[in-house]
Amino acid sequence: MPFVNEVVSDDDIDRYNLPFAKGGGQWWTRDQERDLYLWGGESGNPARDEDIVGSFNFYIHGIYLKITLELGEWSKDWDVKPYVVAWKKILHLQPPELGGLEQAYTLSLLKEALAAYGADGRRNKGVPERLVLFGF
């Protein structure tokens, strides 16, 4: 089964010790068969001189990674088809040695998860036809 966007179950909150309130409706992008998940999204406040970045937590085979991505050029018009979501580069990756995971494999899984995450990590109802691009 590929990555899908879904609401995190209370059982999974307990299983992975996630920082979510049970029944809170938190979304994640998950590949249940391979036991992988991604959660997070855009963060930062330009009013406080903060850049908008993608901040994600990525779980791969028991390894937790924290990833910060620079946004590329996204479509400005929600009605354009396909809607373009672009991730320019990785700004920060923790732990830097990837917990022993192979870099090419990890980046391949990250791209796969982000492609499913799309524009918002939910149902992407506003942009069902989308193109996700990577500069890394």
Residue-level pLDDT at 78: 86
Show the low-confidence residues of the chain (pLDDT under 70): 1
pLDDT at 123: 77
| pLDDT for the residue numbered 1 | 64
**DSSP per residue, 46-101:** GGGTPPPEEEEEEEETTEEEEEEEEE----S-TTSSSEEEEEEEEEEEESTTGGG-
* pLDDT for the residue 64: 97
Taking only the tens place, the pLDDT of each residue in 83-109 is 999 999 999 999 999 999 999 999 999
Identify whether the C-beta of residue 37 lies closer than 8 Å to the C-beta of residue 98.
no
Burial class (CB in 10 A: 0-12, 13-18, 19+), 127: buried
